[in-house]
Each structure stands twice: as structure tokens, then as C-alpha cells.
A and B are shown apart, each in its own frame.
Chain A
């Protein structure tokens, strides 16, 4: 372990022992590369943490890469809608910088908003958020990923390309297992006031189906808050886009009928319950949760024709009970982290052997 510590210190990173592992804090992307090379060379398990991410222990016999020093926002181009940012930067800081340039990251799950850019992109949402047209795509325009030998692979910052497989997807959603995200070009939306409206539905499942219907008609809201109120379900929604927000709201009104005479803005923006869980789920799974007798509140993000990210709450009941009610076919629990579902893996898709070969080929094996 001492030899390892020396090797790590030689990378320029700060190294401290923590529990049964090490905490490594590289001061720069270059130092991060060198540190990863050392850790991978020793076949050590690696975890990554950036600004805003919940404290985590270093894995036993492995290392926690603390990216808090990699928090630079190199550029924000509000007119093009792109920002260059290091992975340790907090999502909140990036959003603040984007706002100053007249842009925004758009509505994001509370767990995402609270964490780092690296955790957002490498985490279970893969950096995805809703884009116009009832679709979802990753906010990462391009990823700089540290490979096992410490070298940096960086894709072209183009809106789309057809130059083979999308290599960014080795990093996106990979939790740092195959490669570690060091920086990224992130896509920004233009910032503009949202449009709001609210309706009443007989119950929460009906409320979910209302929103699903809007998504199927390409009227996907940017955010939604569905909660029980005076014996019925309140459906408060917002739409975004400088020209699109009002248009989508008006068409939703046409589809769902006259909205309630309430200011839906505060309803939509209301903070989610602290006893909630976050899922990435298909509409059927979200509706199933809504049908749970204790279901109290559903906050929706990243809505698309097939489903949404949802923050689900059973009101007074605890997070564990809520997680129990949220788990269903087509739903993957993503926060809080300690309750996160593995979700269907490569193995279940018939790609278990390919995964093993991929880990080996990338030099990302870990000592058992």
C-alpha cells in the first residue's frame, strides 16, 4: 500500500488513507490521468466523487477519486448553447454560469441538480434530459474520458455524428467502471420563462395517464407535479422553450380541457418530499405507483413518449416503503443511491461475455 501511495503522490494528487482505502484528490485533469493509470495498474476498484455529490467511502482496498478540484467552467457559449466544464464542477455552479449567459441546463432531477457534472453524466440517467419533440437525449455533447492507462479520449463536439459507435457511451452511465469522465462539452437550452397550467384529475393514475397522453401527442411538459389535493389529483405542468412554451401549453389546454384558475408555477416548482425516491420508468410503472394506496406525490422530469424520470413519494411513509411501492417492471430506482436498482444488465441482454472482454480490453479489470 505504501508503494501505491508513493506512486499516487507522484501523480501530483493529494492522497490520504480513508477506512480500508485511499482518498485521491488530483489537482488537474492531467494528474487525474496519472492517478487513474496507477490505480488501474494495481487493478484497484475506483469510485469517483465531485462537488455536491454525497460523501462516499473509498471502496475497501481501492480508491476514491475526489474530483473537487476539477471544477473549472472553461467556457459558456449561450448563443451556441454549449459549455466546457470539468467533471468535478457541481451542476448547480454550471447552471448559475449558464444562466449568466442566457442559457440553462433545463429541469433536472433533484439528485442530479445537487451533484456534480461527472456524477450526472456517469450516473444512471447518463446525463439525459427531455428535448423538444417528446424525446430524451444526453446533455453531453462530447466527453473527455480517462482510459485505464491515463490517456484522455475525447470525442468531437458535434451535435450528431456517424463515425462508428458512440464512444461517449463507454463513459455515460458507466459509474466510472470503464473510464473516468474528466470533462465534457455540455448542451444548454436558451433560458426563457416557462408556461404553466394545472388541471384536476379524479386520481393519481388518471393524472399520470393525462401526462402520458400529452407526451404521446408531442406536447411533453418540461416538468410536472402530480399530487393529491382535496380528494382529487392536481396536475401542475410547465413547458419551456422561448417560442414553444406558450404554444405547447395552449395545445395541452386544448387536449385536456380548461385548466384550473390557479397559478401553477409554485405548484410545479414546489420542492419534492425528502422521503421520496427517484426512478427512471415507463409510463405503466409510474401509473402503477400512482395507484398505490399511499401514493401522495409524483414529480416528473425528462418526460418522453415512453416514460419519465419521476420523484415518487408516499407522504408520511419512509423512503424504504416508498422504494418498495416504486419497484415495478419497467421502473429502475436510481436515488437515493443506497437503494439504487442494478436494473437489467448487459448479462441479462446476452452480452455478459462481451462485457467481460470489454473490461479486459480496456484494462479496467479489478482485483477480486
Chain B
């Protein structure tokens, strides 16, 4: 076998034997294909490993429990032997949260995916952690319901992964983030104890909110009760143009503080407005060629050349017209769905007109809706061409939003080409979703160890600059991607003395330190 596919070691084979004895035939494997497939998630830095043909962190064994009881048995087994257990949903995380850096047992939870129990009158659904997001929406749709949770990874992520990393969907303004939807949890802690919170008013600190977002370091989430709603039957979409991104931020704030609940409220900075070809009324503006290569991943040679001087690329951006596009959408259900969505939309239009917005009609919004998951497909051509692309989603209050935007752009500009949109807005603030495109090195297939080292160095420099600037500007490190391996060195700047609270939680829920070790600095 060539390349990164490696056979199991004696430890892996012993674990496979024991775990098969524990759970039955077919529940464990240390086949090279399985070990390789579980050796990384979708952290872009790990894609650089793949590009260079290496897989530095395979687990020793993969196990597929089919129930919370089986998860508990595996965890107890691992706790007795002090073997690492790394929970794994669908591996779409972008922070290395599921990379088994200490080897051990990769705990694939996708067999926990029995049919969801949908109770639409109670606005609740009980669903197992391994359930795929799109499959869940298909099944909910069959019952006239929706979760309203539509991350761009919905096709390739699980309910457990959403909860573990505090996922946000594209319609979060209306439906909330996943932590806003969770009513109760079932989880297995690091001692193999099964915890079941209750969907009733409870005493003491909220156990649910202490486990949600713990990225597999405190407990293995096995089941959740989530809020669901009747499926919307009408949508009203609009594009609006602001003279500047700052005017757009002010408009977005006015909209969110009005009490209206748009399903879609996405503000694009001038570059994102232009490059994504959303029109925005600026179709007549010629986008300089190098910028097009960057976004489309085309012209591999020219793209790599352009990315050698990201500062120049970013200056090209500064010379572009400054208008900013806001995509707005409202949903309705029930007998008055269309008129309700329209009524709210028109109220929002009036309010935003007062903030200086120009109405571009429904086309930009509808175009976005039709292509809303396309972003997730864009990284392959770029990596293939020798670039890296990554996204940094930070959040802060309205008063600090523009300084945050400026500081991160300025800090990242020497390292990568950068654009941004504002896609999760709240009463008090908003997240910013920065996209970086940088030079990874040789195109895939021509990459080697030296190339990997340089690519990693460029990638790390870009991130260090971006996260430092975000921390200095008072923002939170992550709005919905999580921490994983990737951002953990910055975690003390986020939590300060709170790190000791975090470690106390670790001691409480995983006293043997076996759950996803090496993440969140735990």
C-alpha cells in the first residue's frame, strides 16, 4: 500500500478484537481504509496534509456503536484502559475537532440514527445524534415540519456534530442557532454514565448549555430533543444596496432591533458583493481578472502567482466601488403565509429605506436561495489549484462590529486575500464571516513534505494574524465553527480565568481525560 494508507498496529488489532467482543461482529475495524477515512475532518489545514499525501493522525481503531448503551460500554472500556475516545459525526468540522491526535478509538456515531420522533403539535422532535442533517429535514418535511437549521454543511453533517460545535444555520435569525433549539439532551460522560436532561424547568446550572459546544471533550452526545416548527409555505426574498458596508451594518442593526424576524439577513462587504456575481446593481463594474481567479479557482498558475502578493490583491479590492449588498428574506406558514412574509418584508424595506438602502428587487435574494449551499463546493477547485481557502467566523456587539471588520481585514491582508459577509445577526450584535484565500504551494499531486511545511506556515501565519486581531477587537473567537485543534491556543485569550472553569468541567465529566484529548486545551 502506498501513500497515507497504513495498516493497523498491534494496539489497534487488540482494540478491534476487544471491541468486537464487546459490541459484536462488524462493530469495529482497523482496516487501513477505515483508519485513513477517520484520520481527519474538513479542517483546511488537514486538507494540506491530504494534498501532500500524508495522514499524520489515524486512530488505532474505529468503532460503530448503535445505541447510547453501547456508547456507554465503549466509554467504560476505554476509561478502564485509559484509551482516547474521539467522537465522530460526519467529519465536516473545519477546526480539526475530530482529528484523533492521540490515536485511540474513533467513535463513529452515525449508527445512532433511528427514525426521529416528530411531535409537531408540541413543536418538538427527538432525534439521535448520528442523524444526517439533510435526511432529518427530509423526514421532518414529510411530516410538514422543519427544524429551520440549514448550515451550508447540512448535506454532510449530523445532529450530534451540530450540538457538539454550536452550529448555526443560514436562517438563524428566525430559528436561532442549534443551542437555541435544544430542549433536552442524552449524553454519555467520560465515566460511561448516561446523562438525560429533562424538557421541564430544572434546578441549578443548565446542564444542556454546559454540554452543548463541548466538542466531545466532556461527553458523547447521543440524542437530543429539538424545537421544530411547521414548514414555511412562502418566502419573500429581496436584495438591497447600501452605499458602504458601514451603512449596511447600521441598516442590519436597525432591522434586528425592530423586532422583525427575517429568516435571511446577509450583508456582503463590497468585494463579496462583487465577486460572488450577485449583481447588487454593480454588474457594469469590471472585476479585475486576478480577483476572479481567486474566487473561481480557475487559471491555477496565474492564481498561485497572484496569491504570492495578497497585499496587492487586497489593494485592488480597495479601489473597487464600495457598495454593499444585503440579502433579506422572510418566511410565512399557515393560511396567510404569502401575505405575512410580504407584510414583514415590506415593513423591513421601509425601515431600511430610511437607513439609505436601495431596493434591488427579488432577483439577488432568489439567486442566493437557489445556490445557498454552493459555497461548500468551492474549496475543492481552489485546493486542487494550489491555494488554500478558509473561513473565520467571529462575533461581537454592534458597537464593536466595524472596528472588528477593519482590524481583521488589515491584519490578514499581507497573508491572504480576504472578503467578508455578516450572516448571523442578533438584537445585540452580529457575526462576521471572513473568507481567506492564500497560497498553499504546488498544485495537488506535485506537493511534497517541504511544500507542506511552507503551506502550513503560510496558513498558520494568516490565522494567527486574523485571530489576534479579532481577540484584540473584543470579539469572540468563534461564532459557530468551534475551536477544535485549530483555535485552541487562543482560547485563554477568550476565556481568561474561565479556562479554570473549563478544566473543572473536564474533571467533572471526564475525570480520566479520555474524551477527545488534545482539544480545547483539555
Contacts and interface: CB of A to CB of B under 8 A. Distances in A.
Interface of A: 77, 79-82, 124, 126, 131-133, 135, 137, 141, 145, 147, 151-167, 169-175, 177-179, 187, 189-190, 192, 216-218, 240-245, 247, 251, 254, 279-282, 305-307, 329-332, 334, 341-346, 348-351, 353-355, 357-358, 360-362
B259 A241 contact: yes
Nearest to A352: B193
Contacts of B505: 165, 167, 170, 358, 361
Tell me if A's interface is mostly helix, strand, loop or mixed. Answer: loop
Nearest to B148: A133
Nearest to A151: B497
B146 to A, nearest CB: 13
B168 interface: yes
25 contacts: A80-B429, A135-B180, A153-B495, A153-B501, A156-B396, A159-B429, A160-B177, A162-B167, A162-B168, A162-B481, A165-B212, A166-B209, A170-B210, A173-B203, A173-B204, A189-B427, A242-B258, A243-B260, A244-B258, A305-B227, A331-B201, A344-B203, A346-B204, A346-B207, A358-B508
Interface residues of B, number: 97
B197 A349 contact: yes
B259 A164 contact: no
A351 B205 CA distance: 12
A279 B207 CA distance: 20
Interface stretch (B339-347, B437-445, B447-455): B339-347
Given A170-B205, A343-B203, A80 B397 contact: yes
B344 A247 contact: yes
B168 A167 contact: no
Interface centre among B348, B431, B500 (most CB of A within 10 A): B500
Contacts of A241: 258-260
Q: A-B pairs with the 8 shortest C-beta distances?
A: A241-B259, A244-B259, A358-B508, A361-B504, A343-B203, A162-B166, A158-B476, A161-B476
A332 B201 contact: yes
A159 B213 contact: no
A133 B176 contact: yes
B340 A167 contact: no
B70 interface: no
Interface string B321-339: 0000000000000101000
A164 B214 contact: yes
B479 A162 contact: yes
B189 interface: yes
A163 B483 contact: yes
A216 to B, nearest CB: 6
Given A165-B210, A169-B210, A160 B480 contact: yes
Interface string B440-481: 000000000000000000000000000000000011111111
B507 A357 contact: yes
Given A162-B483, A344-B202, A82 B428 contact: yes
B343 A247 contact: yes
A347 B455 CA distance: 50
